[in-house]
């Protein structure tokens, strides 16, 4: 079992051939039920995750998101739905200018009670390598926004947080784009 101090804001990018996995672990000072609601309630997602969401909350159900500053249209089937501990779904994005090959990935949110709080473990698997490198600071920024929302604090600017944390992650094509359309800069 991991020690509490092993949980921190910075995530990991694990390369696996042509694919990659983002891994984030955070301890949140809120019970799993509150974190679950923030992850699965469309009105909550619209705030911290900047997402218009439709969720058919059941195993075999579907998700349909228009997500983040770049307005990615994400669809997928729900692979695991175990309130309030596991939410796993496909993360499919059709090809577009910034993602010429699209994406066919999987996101898994796991929540474990830790005293009065929750250990959140997020894995975003099967991403294209370059997408993962660009998404790492963006996911970090979203996790910061989730924590602020749960704490009823003002949400940090996604773009500002992205820029502030980008140096903690390997460089990618995202940092090379001048317009920042996909970098969400």
User: 82-124: per-residue pLDDT in tens?
Assistant: 999 999 999 999 998 888 889 999 999 999 999 999 999 999 9
Question: Quick check: is 171 in a domain?
Answer: yes
Question: Quick check: is 86 in a domain?
Answer: yes
pLDDT, mean of residues 42-48: 95
Looking up residue 20, the CATH number of its domain turns out to be: 3.30.530.20
Question: Quick check: is 2 in a domain?
Answer: no
How crowded is the C-beta side of 138, counted as CA atoms within 13 Å?
Answer: 22
Question: Quick check: is 1 in a domain?
Answer: no
Predicted confidence band of residue 183 (pLDDT cuts 50, 70, 90)? very low
Give how many domains the chain has, as a whole number: 1
Q: pLDDT by residue (tens digit) across 125-160?
A: 999 998 999 899 999 999 999 999 999 999 999 999
* Total-model pTM: 0.87
Give the span between the Cα atoms of 77 and 87, in whole angstroms.
11
Question: Quick check: is 74 in a domain?
Answer: yes
Question: Quick check: is 77 in a domain?
Answer: yes
The strands making up 103-114's β-sheet, listed across from edge to edge, are 12-16, 19-28, 117-128, 103-114, 86-93, 72-82, 62-67, 51-55
Question: Quick check: is 181 in a domain?
Answer: no
Identify the domain containing residue 138 by its residue range. 9-176
Q: Tell me, letter by letter, the H, E, C secondary structure of 35-74.
A: HHHHHHCHHHHHHHCCEEEEECCCCCCEEEEEECCCCEEE
Q: Which pLDDT belongs to residue 100?
A: 84
Question: Quick check: is 46 in a domain?
Answer: yes
Neighbour-count burial for 69-104, b at 16+ CB within 10 Å, e otherwise: bbebebebebbebeebbbbbbbbbbeeeebbeeebe
CA dihedral 2, 119, 171, 101 (to 10 degrees): 120
């Amino acid at each position: 079992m991991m020690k509490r101090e092993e949980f921190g804001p910075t995530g990991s990018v694990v390369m696996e051939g042509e694919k990659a996995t983002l891994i984030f672990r955070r301890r949140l000072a809120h019970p799993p039920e509150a974190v679950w609601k923030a992850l699965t309630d469309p009105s909550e997602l619209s705030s911290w995750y900047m997402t218009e969401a439709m969720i058919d909350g059941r195993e075999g159900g579907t998700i349909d998101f228009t997500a983040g500053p770049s307005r990615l249209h994400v669809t997928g089937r729900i692979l695991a739905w175990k309130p309030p501990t596991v939410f796993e779904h496909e993360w499919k994005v059709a090809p577009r200018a910034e993602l010429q090959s699209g994406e066919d990935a999987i996101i898994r949110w796991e929540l474990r009670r830790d005293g009065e709080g929750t250990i959140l473990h997020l894995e975003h698997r099967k991403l294209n390598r370059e997408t993962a490198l660009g998404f790492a600071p963006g996911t970090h920024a979203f996790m910061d926004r989730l924590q602020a929302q749960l704490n009823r604090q003002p949400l940090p600017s996604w773009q500002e947080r992205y820029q502030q944390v980008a140096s903690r992650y390997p460089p990618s094509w995202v940092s090379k784009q001048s317009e920042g359309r996909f970098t969400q800069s």
